[in-house]
Amino acid sequence: MKTVIAFIVIFGVLVFVHEFGHFIIAKRSGIKVLEFAFGIGPKLFGFQGKETLYSVRILPLGGFCRFLSAEEVEESDQVSREELLARSFESKSIWKRMAVIVAGPLMNFILGAVLFVVAFAFFGVAVADNQNLIGEVSLGKPAATAGLAAGDRIIAINGTETPDWNSVTQQIHTNPGEKMSFAVEKADTKQIVTIEITPAYDQELGKGLIGIAPSYTMQKVSVLKSIQYGFLQTVEFTRQLVLYLIHMITGKAPVELSGPIGVAQVIGEGVKQGMSSLFTLAAVLSINFGVLNILPLPALDGGQLAVMTFEGIRRKPLSIEKKGWIQLTGFALLIALMIAVTYQDILRIVTK
Catalytic residues: 19
The per-residue b/e assignment along 282-309, b for 16 or more CB within 10 angstroms, e otherwise, is bbbbbbbbbbbbbeebbbbbbbbbbbbe
- Whether the CB-CB separation of 227 and 137 falls below 8 Å is answered with no
Q: How far apart are CA 265 and CA 258, in angstroms?
A: 10
| End-to-end Cα, the chain, rounded Å | 22
Residues contacting residue 114 through CB under 8 Å, at least 6 positions apart: 230, 283
Distances (CA, A) of 309 to 123, 303, 317, 322: 43, 10, 10, 15
- Whether the CB-CB separation of 318 and 311 falls below 8 Å is answered with yes
Q: How far apart are CA 13 and CA 21, in angstroms?
A: 12
Q: Do strands 212-214 and 125-128 pair parallel, antiparallel, or not at all (unpaired)?
A: unpaired
- Whether the CB-CB separation of 280 and 118 falls below 8 Å is answered with no
Q: How many C-beta atoms surround the C-beta of residue 206 within 10 A?
A: 9
Residues contacting residue 21 through CB under 8 Å, at least 6 positions apart: 103, 104, 105, 106, 107, 108
- Whether the CB-CB separation of 149 and 183 falls below 8 Å is answered with no
- Whether the CB-CB separation of 122 and 37 falls below 8 Å is answered with no
Burial status of residue 261 (CB atoms within 10 A of its CB: 0-12, 13-18, 19 or more): middle
Q: How far apart are CA 296 and CA 307, in angstroms?
A: 9
